[in-house]
């Protein structure tokens, strides 16, 4: 089980062993695993080495310790998925909904002052402007306007949008998406949005403005999305 002469560190082998025992049910949730001293004796290794393995598993959320009682298997899901940059489509699939889109407009326009400033461009630089209705389970959920610098995101087509914009940027254009900043605020639906979202004027909407950047810091995307408050809420996990 543990090979003291392997180039793989002993604590790492022990980690894998314990994780395996958790996953195959030998150590059920909320029960103790063998004590540090027992593991040390069983594998003829030092207790400090056992502690190093257990420390890592505690940090990864697999185990938790209680003074004087023992080390327990954590019942909590280990997924620990922090918020990652995802597209609407990826987001909806994760929520178990079927996403669809309805393209309203798709053309190149000169950037106005606000868009130019956000995308770090000169005013009037050509940008794609794409307006879409986002649909989940056959009912409208958001109206979304995307701006992309036309000189950076070249060769965009409606077909690419329907597949995956992010895949196109990363795979075909070989650009590296690094991170995105979102501003989330509440507002009341304006007259021009009521028809597309099938809501009354003044109904609450969630407005999410996202700016995405490449790994060299270049902004490549600005998206403003207006979500129906009754059909969408934003969920977010944070660590202390």
Q: What, of DNA, a second copy, none, does residue 107 touch, CB below 5 to 8 Å by kind?
A: none
Q: Hey, how many other C-beta atoms are within 10 angstroms of the C-beta on 73?
A: 21
By C-beta, is 128 or 220 nearer to a second copy? Answer: 220
- What is the C-alpha radius of gyration for the chain, rounded to an integer number of angstroms? 25
- Among candidates 156, 107, 149, which has minimal Cα distance to 131? 107
d(CA 70, CA 26): 16
- Among candidates 152, 138, 129, which has minimal Cα distance to 216? 152
Site for DNA, residues 30 to 89, rule: CB under 7 A: 32-33, 35-38, 44-49, 51-52, 65-71
By C-beta, is 12 or 163 nearer to DNA? Answer: 12
* Interface mask toward a second copy for 49-68; x: CB under 8 A: ----------x----x-x--
Tokens of 204: 């609450």
48 in contact with a second copy (CB under 8 A)? yes
Q: Hey, how many other C-beta atoms are within 10 angstroms of the C-beta on 169?
A: 22
Alpha-carbon distances, residue 129 vs 147, 153, 195 (angstroms) = 5, 12, 20
Q: How far is the CB of 1 from a second copy (least distance, A)?
A: 26
Q: What, of a second copy, DNA, none, does residue 101 touch, CB below 5 to 8 Å by kind?
A: none
Site residues (vs a second copy, CB under 8 A): 48, 59, 64, 66, 72, 74-76, 82-85, 177-188, 202-207, 215-217, 227, 229, 232-240
């Amino acid at each position: 089980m543990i090979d003291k002469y392997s180039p793989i560190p002993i604590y790492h082998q022990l980690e894998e062993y314990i994780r395996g025992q958790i996953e195959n049910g030998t150590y059920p949730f909320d029960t103790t695993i063998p004590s540090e001293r027992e593991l040390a004796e069983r594998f003829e290794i030092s207790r400090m080495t056992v502690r190093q393995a257990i420390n890592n598993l505690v940090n990864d959320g697999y185990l938790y310790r209680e003074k004087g009682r023992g080390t327990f298997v954590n019942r909590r899901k280990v997924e620990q998925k922090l918020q990652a940059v995802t597209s609407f489509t990826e987001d909806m699939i994760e929520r178990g909904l079927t996403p669809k889109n309805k393209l309203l407009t798709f053309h190149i326009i000169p950037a106005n002052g606000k868009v130019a400033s956000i995308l770090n461009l000169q005013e009037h630089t050509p940008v794609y402007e794409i307006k879409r209705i986002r649909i989940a389970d056959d009912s409208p959920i958001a109206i979304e306007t995307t701006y992309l610098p036309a000189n950076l995101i070249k060769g965009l087509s409606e077909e690419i949008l329907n597949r995956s914009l992010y895949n196109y940027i990363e795979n075909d254009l070989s650009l590296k998406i690094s991170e995105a900043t979102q501003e989330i605020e509440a507002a009341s639906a304006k007259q021009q949005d009521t028809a597309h979202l099938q809501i009354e004027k003044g109904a609450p909407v969630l407005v999410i403005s996202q700016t995405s950047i490449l790994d060299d810091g270049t902004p490549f995307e600005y998206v403003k999305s207006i979500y129906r408050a009754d059909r969408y809420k934003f969920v977010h996990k944070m660590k202390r």
